[in-house]
Amino acid sequence: MLDDRKLAVLRAIVEDYVSTNEPVGSKALAERHNLNVSPATIRNDMAVLEEQGYIAQPHTSAGRVPTDKGYRLFVDRLSQVKPLSSAERRAIETFLVGAVDLDDVVTRTVRLLAQLTRQVAVVQYPTLTRSTVRHVELVPLSERRVMLVLITNTGRVEQRVIELHEVADDARIAHLRAVLNACLDGCGLSSVPELVADLPERVPAEDRPMAATILSVLLETLVERHDEKIVFAGAANLAGADFSSGLRDVLEALEEQVVLMRLLGETSPDTPAALTVRIGSENPYSGLRGTSIVATGYGSGDRQLARLGVLGPTRMDYPVTMGAVRAVARYVSQILAAS
């Protein structure tokens, strides 16, 4: 159906269009790429490609532009992820080394990725649910108030101030803390609810109301933060590009956690480190026709903790972008594994 030369033509169209941002015509193609055929032949191929929906012309007698379907074929079969230059690798290292805490890692990562790809970078904070409890701390603030601090193995820290209905002295708090830690230390967050289910029964009767209050806040914390935190950077890189749906829609989407969440997508369980590419209309949000997302999972070792990626115009350099996303994801995974 599509012989090798037609595929080569499609590849050439995508490459030229990405680099020039102008519809590409048969003559230019014949010159710039050594396809060893005449423009007329290319025109015939183009007619076929157009008929099949891989390319389109903005108007009669203009060059051709790849369609979403065309980019899809290009990404799937006609391109190879481009590895980073050694200079870029060094940049990544120097940029990420020296991050002091999780916040810092995420912030640096998102900026790095934005700078590297010259597009908008999006990074999801490591998921709470898949991490494990490293420590639970109860800090008495005043007679009737304690602060609950939950530290996970990914370095994430959640805190809540809890109002108690009774006065709680330090000793009782300390005891409860000990019980909590004994019970939860090292356990996965998802198993916390069952683990603490019978906990009130294991404390002195007079402490049970307090324990119940604290537990309910703890469980609430786990649930509430299920909608994960996501940050982005590099919005300035959108300024040059023009989107079919207006820049405004894109910026609005970026500020909607929920939308971003769905954009990054889910890590496929079988190939966790695979790159996900969503092109134009493939993505689930109407304001983002005209943009593509390249994303992947990251996390220490075999555990995928969260996802990161970039968002840019459909007309983007996929091989380079995919290379950068993959490389950054690997480095961040290393950093997280080491800490």
Indicate the angle between helix axes 102-117 and 86-96, nearest 10 degrees: 150
70/93 Cα distance (integer angstroms):
35
Helix or strand run (H / E) with residue 39: helix 39-51
Q: How far is the CB of 23 from a copy of itself (least distance, A)?
A: 25
CA angle 178, 184, 190 (to 5 degrees): 155
Q: Would strands 306-313 and 120-124 be described as parallel, antiparallel, or unpaired?
A: antiparallel
- Residues 55-114 interacting with DNA (rule: CB under 7 A): 57, 59-64
CB of 159 or CB of 286, closer to a copy of itself: 159
Full DSSP string of 248-302:
HHHHHHHT-HHHHHHHH----SSSTTPPEEEEGGGSS-GGGTTEEEEEEEE-STT
| Spatial CA neighbour of 277 closest among 90, 40, 76 | 76
Q: How far is the CB of 36 from DNA (least distance, A)?
A: 7
Choose from DNA, a copy of itself, none: what does 61 bind? Cβ within 5-8 Å by kind: DNA
Contact between 244 and DNA by CB under 7 A: the answer reads no
> What's the distance, CA 153 to chain centroid?
20
- Residues 16-45 interacting with DNA (rule: CB under 7 A): 23-28, 36-41, 43-44
Contact between 238 and a copy of itself by CB under 8 A: the answer reads yes
Read off the tokens for 246: 């207006």
Contact between 5 and DNA by CB under 7 A: the answer reads yes
Q: How many residues bind DNA (CB under 7 A)?
A: 25
Contact between 135 and a copy of itself by CB under 8 A: the answer reads yes
CB of 42 or CB of 335, closer to DNA: 42
Choose from a copy of itself, DNA, none: what does 247 bind? Cβ within 5-8 Å by kind: a copy of itself
Choose from DNA, a copy of itself, none: what does 69 bind? Cβ within 5-8 Å by kind: none
Q: How far is the CB of 71 from DNA (least distance, A)?
A: 18
Contact between 47 and a copy of itself by CB under 8 A: the answer reads no
Q: How far is the CB of 155 from a copy of itself (least distance, A)?
A: 7
Binder among 53, 58, 246, 284 for a copy of itself (CB under 8 A) = 246
Query: Where does this chain bind a copy of itself (CB under 8 A)?
Result: 100-101, 111, 134-135, 137, 139, 141, 147, 149, 151, 155, 157-161, 224, 233-236, 238-240, 246-249, 251-252, 254-255, 339
> What are the residues binding DNA (CB under 7 A)?
5, 23-28, 36-41, 43-44, 46-47, 50, 57, 59-64
